[in-house]
Structure 1
Amino acid sequence: MTGGPPLIVTRPEPGNVATVERARAMGFDARAMPLFAARAIDWCPPDPGNFDALLLTSAFAARLAGRGLAGLASLPVYAVGAATARAAEAAGLTVAMTGSSGAQRLLDDMTSGNIRNILWLCGRDRSEFDARGAMITALPCYAVDPAPVPAEWEALIAAPATLLAHSARAAQRIAQLVGGARAHLSLVAISPAAAASAGDGWRDLAVAGHPDDVAILAQARALWHKGAK
């Protein structure tokens, strides 16, 4: 894929560098352009005996929760995406199920298995889900804040390029920053919700088959081959 348009990776670190390295190994001209930065926030672990399971929708929850996470180790973890599952296991948690089709589908699987009291260790800014009759307690343990726009951003989006949106918030900010330039830009979203947040008017708008880095890069490669024909 040498010689193709640049691939702009907007996710926060440490995921940004991992995605850039994976993309470059695939032959992309990948550029690190993080538009957000993650940080830990204060939180207090509740009594795990009040819950049936721990829901993790982002690897940041496992990476940034800190020592309080040990108090929840008795709860089975339901993780969205392989990266989140790996982060949970690295933090000493036991993963009962890894969802590959987004948070709502995983939540549906949980409630169909009669899991009713769910602790959701999440970010300060988060999406809402249909609880399907379950009791979901959202407990923020990290925040993802907008970061300054990198100096090279304007030059990169002035010409054809492909951008990756690893969340709905990322897709929304990308759309705001590129404005009318989206007509010559392609965007690959990690989920249908992220694609919806990106709006219309893109040269190409595609959705990853699964909510993980491997799938989003596979979709970017498919877009590249489409444009190369």
Structure 2
Amino acid sequence: MTRAIVVLRPEPGNARTAAALRALGLTVRQVPLFAVRPVAWTIPELTGIDGLLLTSANAVRHGGAGLDAVKHLPAIAVGATTAAAAAGAGFAVAVTGTGDARAVVSEARDRGFARLLHLAGRDRSPTGVGDAYGNDGADDSTGGIDSVIVYASDALPLDDATTRSFEDCLVLLHSARAAARLAALVDAAGVDRSRIAVAAISEGVGEAAGRGWASVSIAPQPSDPALVALAVAGANTHAIDHPARGGDKHVMSDYVPTDRPRARGPKMGIILALTGLAFVAGLGLMAYASRMLPWFGGTQATAGSTGTGAATTAQTQGAGSAGYIPSQPLGPNGEPQAAPPIDTAVLATREATLAGQLAALEARTAAITSDAAAAGGQATRAEGLMVAFAARRALDRGVQLGYLEEQIRLRFGQAQPRATMLLIQAARQPVTLEDLRQGLDTIAPDITTSTGEGWLDTIQHQIDSLIILRKAGTPSQIPTDRLARARRLLGAGQVEAARAEVARLPGATQAGNWMDAARRYVVARQALDAIENAALIGQAGQPQPAPVVMPAPEPQTPAVETAPESPGV
């Protein structure tokens, strides 16, 4: 007998799980305990944030318009379902976990994501992330993880009659909160827990359900497909002798066959007699062959029994020698000769020679294998360098990467995930030195003078600049001289130094767009340097699928705000 399965998770996950179970021919009841709704939230300060932590697909579904402001951050997804939802919403998934939140955060730390922004639910259970970094997991701000609530899961009313209908069913638990509420509803309705079987998505969820259930099964992996597979096995397992039904196992074992086996008749004796006669006949034929057939070791009788003894002997020898195949060389009289003695010294010499040749072949094979492996590694390194150099050339020309984007992601996505992400984002809005020079020339009149000054302040500044005293070797502080130095630094490719000079000009507040473009230029080159170093030291791999998943470029791409500058890109 197959028991019914109760799915308690909220929509839209409830419908997906129920559809998967019904496709397998199971009886499913959909009783969601919670309803997920969006929560109004404000975007926190993103300075120093390296990535976005997503522990539930609900954060992507109900995050609202605020998600557009954080889409430039790499996403850290707790599982494949959350990663798929994030990629579908336009996020760049850098890390996809296979366990719980603590495991995926640890993996993100190993890949260089020091500080994360967690888009969380209001009534979430402690994930354990904070336990590893200095707090209890409910507020992760002190452990390098800032949390912001973007959705809430409100409890739906459930009457006692519906709760009592869970008896003799298998209930699926997708969260610790659902497990705790199920236990409370069952106890409040006076239902015997031993009449309900439970299947939990993880050990933590199973512990939250408590004890006393008919059975508690844990999915081998914390995913809905694994829980569905566990439910299929649990639904087909039903007690034969349930105590509530007063069954009797003994009755099912009292089997009495209705057909009696047929008795063996006289045909069996005839078969045995024929078998014995055939065996005796075979022995007689073998004895005859051993005496009469020459190839069987015997002598062939002559056709006639008369004649002289010499003629008879000659005929017998002639008949015998006609079909004889000697196994040893014969002497002059036709007699077999003894085999020559074996020279052990010659055999030892031959064995030593063969052993030496075999050792030489093995050494040559090992050398060829080593050379082939080295050549393969050098070829992989050369291919990685070619891809990195081609990417640098595309950035210097101000064009998008095109097919190089996929090559960079597949070859360097695992070794340098953050640098790969920043490089691909910068290439979608490329900035060249010529763009920076033209932009600086355009804003030069605005940034060399202070905004908001009256004509008296302007005259005062002109008088003050007539005579300036400074130490020898100290750069001039006059705005025009700073602007000239910034232009020279741009011509030498030192964008960071030119950006620092522009920041000290009186009208630097008017150069916001130029400063942002210069910062994107610097971040892109730092990411490209990290990728080239990875290619030089042999970290570039063969084109294999990597966890980094980049969305396809849209027709209208909004301005991408790259992560803050960091020397260790």
Asked if these proteins are the same fold (TM beyond 0.5), I'd say yes
Q: Does 1:141 align with 2:162?
A: no
Q: Does 1:167 align with 2:175?
A: yes
Match of 1:72 in 2: 70
Task: State the Cα RMSD in Å.
Answer: 1.9
Per-residue deviation, 1:125: 1.4
The 2-side partners of 1:85 and 1:152 are apart by: 38
The match for 1:187 among 198, 208, 219 is 198
Per-residue deviation, 1:208: 1.4
Provide closer, same or farther for how the CA distance between residues 152 and 16 of structure 1 changes in structure 2, counting only shifts above 3 A. farther
The 2-side partners of 1:108 and 1:127 are apart by: 19
Match of 1:221 in 2: 232
CA contact 1:80–1:211 (8 Å) conserved in 2: no
CA contact 1:8–1:162 (8 Å) conserved in 2: yes
SS at match of 1:101: coil
Mean Cα displacement is larger for which, 126-135 or 188-197? 126-135
The 1-side partners of 2:87 and 2:46 are apart by: 18
How do 1:1-229 residues align onto structure 2 when only pairs under 5 Å count?
4-128=2-126, 129-131=128-130, 132-133=132-133, 134-149=143-158, 153-157=162-166, 159-179=167-187, 180-227=191-238
Per-residue deviation, 1:47: 4.0
CA contact 2:35–2:154 (8 Å) conserved in 1: yes
Per-residue deviation, 1:113: 2.8
Per-residue deviation, 1:127: 2.7
Give the letter for the 2:209 counterpart: A
The 2-side partners of 1:8 and 1:25 are apart by: 15
CA contact 1:102–1:210 (8 Å) conserved in 2: no
Give the letter for the 1:221 counterpart: V
Give CA-to-partner distance per residue, 1:133-165, whole Å, 9 cap, x none: 4411111000001111168623522x3000011
TM-score by length of 1: 0.91
The 1-side partners of 2:224 and 2:161 are apart by: 23
The 2-side partners of 1:152 and 1:77 are apart by: 43
The 2-side partners of 1:150 and 1:74 are apart by: 45
Give the letter for the 1:184 counterpart: R
The 1-side partners of 2:193 and 2:107 are apart by: 37
Mean Cα displacement is larger for which, 100-109 or 219-228? 219-228
The 2-side partners of 1:50 and 1:152 are apart by: 53
SS at match of 2:86: helix
Per-residue deviation, 1:225: 3.9
Match of 2:343 in 1: none
Per-residue deviation, 1:94: 1.1
The 2-side partners of 1:152 and 1:109 are apart by: 46
CA contact 2:5–2:235 (8 Å) conserved in 1: no
SS at match of 2:93: strand
Provide closer, same or farther for how the CA distance between residues 48 and 74 of structure 1 changes in structure 2, counting only shifts above 3 A. farther
The 2-side partners of 1:31 and 1:150 are apart by: 15
Give CA-to-partner distance per residue, 1:83-124, whole Å, 9 cap, x none: 211211121111112212111211221223332211000001
The 2-side partners of 1:217 and 1:204 are apart by: 16
Q: Which has the higher contact order (CA 8 A, sep 6+)?
A: 1
Identity score, percent: 38
The 2-side partners of 1:11 and 1:84 are apart by: 15
Provide closer, same or farther for how the CA distance between residues 117 and 222 of structure 1 changes in structure 2, counting only shifts above 3 A. same
Determine which structure has the larger strand proportion and give its number.
1
Give the letter for the 1:176 counterpart: A
Count of equivalent residues: 226
Give the letter for the 2:87 counterpart: E
Give the letter for the 2:206 counterpart: A
Give CA-to-partner distance per residue, 1:43-100, whole Å, 9 cap, x none: 0123444311111111110000011101111111111222211211121111112212
The 2-side partners of 1:193 and 1:187 are apart by: 13
The 2-side partners of 1:24 and 1:222 are apart by: 14
Determine which structure has the larger helix proportion and give its number.
2
Segments of structure 1 that go 5 or more residues without pairing to the other structure are none
Per-residue deviation, 1:222: 2.3
Per-residue deviation, 1:28: 1.5
Larger Rg: 2
Mean Cα displacement is larger for which, 101-110 or 5-14? 101-110
Give the letter for the 2:165 counterpart: L
TM-score by length of 2: 0.38
